[in-house]
C-alpha cells in the first residue's frame, strides 16, 4: 500500500523540544505529565528514567524537576526553589511570551484579560504572572465578558496558545467598542491549525485515511472529523495493532496524520505496517 504523510502532523515544536530536554536530563522528574500519551511517558521512564510527579507535595529536596510545555504558576516555581530543586524549564517559548506580557502589562497598569480555560495548566501559569490578581480575568466566552468589571479602561489581552483566533477576535471587538485602549497580543499558536490544514489537504487526495491518536483526545477527534469530510474511509487508531487489512482493499493511496500527542515512533510503526499490506 502506498502511504503519504500529511505535511504537518503529530507533535508541535514545543512538545518536541520538551521531550528532547527530558531525554537530556536522565533521572529527572516532570512536574505533571509531559504529554497526554502514556506510551511516550513509559518510554521516557524506561529509556531515560524520567519520572513523573502529579503533585507538588511529592517533590523532594534537590530533585531535578522538568517544567512541561504548559509552564507552571509563579508560586509553584517558588515552592520548587524552596526545595532547592534543580529546575529545568521546558515551558514552550510560545507560553513564556504570554506569561511575560501579563507580568509587564500588569505592572504598567493595564487590566488583564486572558482568553482561555481557567482550569488549564497553561492558563493558570500565565494568569499567575499578573501583579494584581483581582484585575486578571479569564474567560472562554463573550458572555462571561459581560459580567466582568475591569478596574482600568485600558486592557491588555492574551490568549491561550491553542485557542481559535476567530473567537479571540470576537472578544477583542467587544472590548474595543467599550474601552479607550485595548492592547492586543496575538499569542495563539498555529501548530494545531497547521495539522488540521494539512489533514484537510491530504484527505482530499487519499482514498483511505488513517488518523493516529488517543480515542479521547479532542484534537485527534477533530482531525478525524476533518478527514471524514473529504474521505469517507477515515479511521482513528491509537497504534498499529488496530489496523485492519480490509480497509485498504481496492484503495491506492493511504494518507496518514496524527494528533498533537502522538509520538513519531508510533507513527512510524503504523506507516511500516500499512506499507507492508
Q: Least distance from C-beta 96 to a copy of itself, angstroms?
A: 14
Binding track over 147-186 against a copy of itself, x by CB under 8 A: ------------------x--xx--xx--xx-xxxxxxxx
Q: Got the DSSP string for 243-270? A: --GGGGTT--EEEEEE-TT--HHHHHHH
Tell me whether residue 175 or residue 231 sits nearer to a copy of itself (CB atom).
Answer: 175
For this structure, is 122 an active site residue? yes
Q: Least distance from C-beta 6 to a copy of itself, angstroms?
A: 23
CB 152 within 8 A of CB 181: no
Distance CA 9, CA 213 (A): 11
Q: Least distance from C-beta 184 to a copy of itself, angstroms?
A: 5
Active-site residue (options: 23, 108, 122, 238): 122
Distance CA 234, CA 143 (A): 36
**Kind and range of the H or E element at 98?**
helix 93-107
Size, binding site for a copy of itself by CB under 8 A = 15
**Is 41 a binder of a copy of itself (CB under 8 A)?**
no
Tell me whether residue 59 or residue 182 sits nearer to a copy of itself (CB atom).
Answer: 182
Q: Least distance from C-beta 108 to a copy of itself, angstroms?
A: 11
Q: Could you tell me which residues are beta bridge partners of residue 114? A: 138, 158
Tell me whether residue 179 or residue 239 sits nearer to a copy of itself (CB atom).
Answer: 179
Tell me whether residue 172 or residue 227 sits nearer to a copy of itself (CB atom).
Answer: 172
Q: Nearest CA to 18 among 142, 122, 110?
A: 122
Tell me whether residue 67 or residue 113 sits nearer to a copy of itself (CB atom).
Answer: 113
Tell me whether residue 108 or residue 141 sits nearer to a copy of itself (CB atom).
Answer: 108
Distance CA 230, CA 199 (A): 10
Residue 203 cell numbers, joined = 484527505
Q: Least distance from C-beta 48 to a copy of itself, angstroms?
A: 35
CB 9 within 8 A of CB 267: yes
Q: Least distance from C-beta 201 to a copy of itself, angstroms?
A: 20
Residue 41 cell numbers, joined = 511517558
Residue 22 cell numbers, joined = 527530558
Q: Nearest CA to 81 among 96, 103, 59?
A: 59
CB-based contacts of 220, cutoff 8 Å, min separation 6? 211, 212, 213, 214, 236, 258, 259, 260, 261, 262
- The interface with a copy of itself within residues 183-242 (CB under 8 A) comprises 183-186
Catalytic residues: 122
Q: Which residues would be at the binding site for a copy of itself (CB under 8 A)?
A: 165, 168-169, 172-173, 176-177, 179-186
Amino acid at each position: 500500500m502506498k502511504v503519504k504523510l500529511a505535511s504537518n502532523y503529530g507533535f508541535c515544536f514545543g512538545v518536541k523540544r520538551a521531550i528532547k530536554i527530558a531525554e537530556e536530563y536522565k533521572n529527572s522528574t516532570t512536574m505533571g505529565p509531559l504529554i497526554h500519551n502514556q506510551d511516550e511517558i513509559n518510554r521516557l521512564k524506561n529509556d531515560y528514567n524520567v519520572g513523573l510527579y502529579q503533585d507538588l507535595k511529592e517533590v523532594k529536596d534537590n530533585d531535578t524537576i522538568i517544567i512541561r510545555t504548559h509552564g507552571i504558576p509563579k508560586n509553584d516555581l517558588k515552592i520548587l526553589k524552596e526545595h532547592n530543586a534543580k529546575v529545568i524549564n521546558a515551558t514552550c517559548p510560545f507560553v513564556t511570551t504570554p506569561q511575560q506580557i501579563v507580568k509587564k502589562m500588569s505592572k504598567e497598569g493595564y487590566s488583564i484579560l486572558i482568553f482561555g480555560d481557567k482550569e488549564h495548566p497553561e492558563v493558570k501559569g500565565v494568569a499567575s504572572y499578573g501583579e494584581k490578581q483581582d484585575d486578571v480575568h479569564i474567560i472562554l466566552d463573550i458572555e462571561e465578558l459581560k459580567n466582568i468589571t475591569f478596574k482600568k479602561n485600558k486592557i491588555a489581552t492574551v490568549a491561550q496558545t491553542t485557542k481559535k483566533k476567530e473567537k479571540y477576535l470576537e472578544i477583542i471587538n467587544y472590548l474595543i467598542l467599550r474601552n479607550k485602549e485595548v492592547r492586543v497580543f496575538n499569542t495563539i499558536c498555529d501548530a494545531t491549525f497547521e495539522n488540521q490544514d494539512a489533514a484537510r489537504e491530504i484527505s482530499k487526495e487519499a482514498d483511505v485515511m488513517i488518523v493516529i491518536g488517543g480515542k479521547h483526545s479532542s484534537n485527534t477527534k477533530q482531525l478525524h472529523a476533518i478527514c471524514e469530510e473529504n474521505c469517507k474511509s477515515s479511521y482513528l487508531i491509537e497504534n498499529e495493532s488496530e489496523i485492519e487489512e480490509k480497509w485498504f482493499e481496492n484503495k491506492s493511496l493511504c494518507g496518514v496524520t496524527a494528533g498533537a500527542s502522538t509520538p513519531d515512533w508510533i507513527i512510524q510503526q503504523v506507516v511500516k505496517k500499512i506499507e507492508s499490506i
